[in-house]
Chain A
Amino acid sequence: QVQLVQSGAEVKKPGASVKVSCKASGYTFTGYYMHWVRQAPGQGLEWMGWINPNSGGTNYAQKFQGWVTMTRDTSISTAYMELSRLRSDDTAVYYCARSVVAGSRYDYWGQGTLVTVSS
């Protein structure tokens, strides 16, 4: 069955970077886009961008351009999201989710990774 399994919770200091992984199984990793969505405590969902695991091409939300990097390792069916220059308001749960094409529904989601930014 399709599974997206994310890495564990992280605690980072302001100004540091964090890299969250999302390991896919149960389907052809390169056949689906991978999106990243975050949710601050008690807040709504915020789309960050996507990566095409087949080509490595990316599309980031304007807010995150220059600040987020999405990569993948097709040999281990894993997508990564790295956020740099962390601030306290980057404290959130970060989700990966797949879609068959870029502008499509997210039918499977990872379990979420809590990133806490605190001095």
Chain B
Amino acid sequence: DIQMTQSPSSLSASVGDRVTITCRASQSISSYLNWYQQKPGKAPKLLIYAASSLQSGVPSRFSGSGSGTDFTLTISSLQPEDFATYYCQQSYSTLGFTFGPGTKVDIK
């Protein structure tokens, strides 16, 4: 199975900050990488797919980059509604579409 790691596991930031979250795959997954946002008690929400494509309706302050094994989610200017947990997921291996462990973004 492909293992996914994320860093940091949590971070504290202020409204307006630029936030970067990193995701790494244990082997190359090309651009088969998706990012989700989850708020407490809610289902995950798709933000970015295919590493860098913005899902319809998602604010442009969210962006993704990377390919192969290393990927990044960036929030250019953190807004109050962005405090949540973020997960990456690889959709490359049919053996298992594994998720990263998550990165919790909370208020400084």
Contact = CB atoms under 8 A, between A and B. Distances in A.
B87 A106 contact: no
A45 B55 CA distance: 20
A105 B44 CA distance: 12
Contacts of B43: 95, 97, 109-112
Nearest to B4: A44
Q: Nearest 3 A-B pairs (CB), nearest first?
A: A105-B49, A109-B43, A45-B99
B30 to A, nearest CB: 10
Contacts of A103: 32, 91-94, 97
Mostly, the A contact residues are loop
Interface in A76-111: 95, 97, 99, 102-107, 109-111
A107 B55 contact: yes
A111 B44 CA distance: 9
Contacts of A62: 1, 95-96
Q: How large is the interface on B (under 10, 10 to 19, 20 to 34, 35 or more residues)?
A: 20 to 34
Q: Give the residue among B38, B46, B55, B98 with the most A Cβ atoms within 10 A.
A: B46
A61 interface: yes
A47 interface: yes
Interface of A: 35, 37, 44-47, 59, 61-62, 95, 97, 99, 102-107, 109-112
A35 B97 contact: yes
Nearest to A4: B43
A111 B45 CA distance: 11
B67 to A, nearest CB: 16
Nearest to B35: A105
Contacts of A45: 36, 38, 44, 87, 89, 99, 102
A105 B99 contact: no
Given A105-B49, A105-B50, A112-B43, A59 B94 contact: yes
